[in-house]
Amino acid sequence: MATWRLIAWLIALAWSSVLSAGERIALLPLVDSGEESASRGPLTSELRSQLIRDGFDLISEDSVAATLRQLRLRNTAAPLDAEIETMAGMMGADFLLVGTIHRFRTDTLLSEACVCVRLIRTSDLVVTWNNCVTRSGGGEISLLTARATRSGTRLARAVARKLVSDFTLEPKKRRTEVTGLVVGRREKITQPCSTVAVIPPTDEQGYSLGSEMIGDLLGVALRRRGVNVADRGRVRAVMLEGEDLRYGQSVKDISRLLRDSLGVDLILTGSISELTLARDAGLGAQPVVALQLRWIDPSSDAVIWAETLERKGDDRKGLFDVGIVHSPALLAQQVVDDFVSDLRLVRRRVEPIRGN
C-alpha cells in the first residue's frame, strides 16, 4: 500500500511539473485583515514552499518584493487591472496568486484560521482558481473536537496544504453554464445571472472585521457552483471610479458602473449585524453569525431578493455534541455555503465547438 501511494505521489508531482512548465507564478504577500499581521509571513512562506514542492514555478521572493517596492503597491489582495499588467511585465509572470488572511488565532482554548486565495491569469485577467480554507480547534472538551494549537507554524502549514490541495493553473471545464437566478416565493421570476459582482457586506458592528471575509467566502462559494463572479480587484476599481467604497451600499451610480464596465447582471451585497470575535469565542462565548444579504438588479438598482441568515454555534448540536461549532469563522463559512447551495440557478448546456 505504501509503495502504491509513493508511486501515485511521484506521478502527481511529475504531472504538475508538466502542467506548470513555462508558466511562472508570482505569489504576492498575503494581506492581513488588520489584526493578523504576525501570521502574514509564515502563511505566505508555507504557501510558497507547498507550491514549490508540488512542482510549480514560482518567481523569487526578492523579485516580487523589489517589484512591489518599485510600484509602491500596498493592496496586494485586490490589485487593479493596470497594476496586474505592470507587475506581469516587470516580473515575467503568467499568473498572480493573491489572498487575504481573515482569521489566524493560536491558543490553548480556541484556534482558528480563515484564509482565501485566488489565481489571476495575467494575459486576460481571468480568475482561473480560488479557494477559502477555514480550520479550527478547541472549544468545549469533547472526544469529537479537534484540539486547539498554539503553534502558528503548524497551523500555517496545515492551512497552506489544504489551500493548494486542488490547485490548478487552468479553470475547471464545465458542461453547463449559469444563465439565470430564480427568485420569489409565490411568483417565481428568473433574473439574468451570467456575471455577478459581490460587494462585501457592511459591518454594522464596526469591529468584527468580517466584511472582507464574508465577501471572499461568498465569491468562492458562488464560483464553486459555476457562477461567473467578477474579480474583487475589478469591482474595487469600479468603486474607486465612482468614488464610493462603502461596503454594503449600492447607489445607482455604482450599480450602473458595474453593469457597464464589467457586464454585471446582478450584485450581491448586504450587512453583518452580528459576528462573534474569535477572542470572545475563546473565552466561552457562543459564536453567532447574523447576515442580511440582498440581490440587486444594476439596471434599476432595485432589490429583487433579500434574505436574513442567522445561526448559533449549537443550533445543529446533536448527540455527543456532534455538529456543534466553536469557531465564528467556521460558522460563517457554513452559513454562506448553505445560502449559496440553496440558490435556484438556471443552467444551459455548453455545446462543444466542432470543426468543419
Check residue 218 and give its pLDDT: 98
| pLDDT tens profile 93-125 | 999 999 999 999 888 778 889 999 999 999 999
Residue 308 has pLDDT above 80, yes or no: yes
Decide which of 354 and 263 is more confident.
263
Query: Looking at residue 65, what is its pLDDT?
Result: 95
Please check whether residue 328 is in contact with residue 276, taking contact to mean a CB–CB distance below 8 angstroms. Answer: yes
C-alpha 297/C-alpha 217 separation (Å) is: 21
Give the other-Cβ count within 10 Å of 329's Cβ: 29
Say whether domain 21-163 belongs to CATH 3.40.50.300. Answer: no
Residue 219 has pLDDT above 60, yes or no: yes
Ranges in the chain annotated CATH 3.40.50.10610: 21-163, 176-349
What average pLDDT does range 149-172 have in this prediction? 90
Q: CATH number of the domain at 176-349, out of 3.40.1390.10, 3.40.50.300, 3.40.50.10610, 3.30.420.480?
A: 3.40.50.10610
Looking at residues 138-162, what average pLDDT do you find? 76
pLDDT at residue 18, as a whole number: 43
pLDDT > 50? residue 349:
yes
What mean pLDDT value characterizes the chain? 85
Rounded mean pLDDT of 35-45? Answer: 74
What does the pLDDT average to over 308-328? 76
For the segment 80-86, the average pLDDT, to the nearest whole number, is 95
Q: Who has greater pLDDT, 21 or 289?
A: 289
The mean-pLDDT minimum among 13-22, 40-49, 135-144, 231-240 falls in 13-22
User: What's the pLDDT at 356?
Assistant: 38
Whole-number pLDDT of residue 242: 73
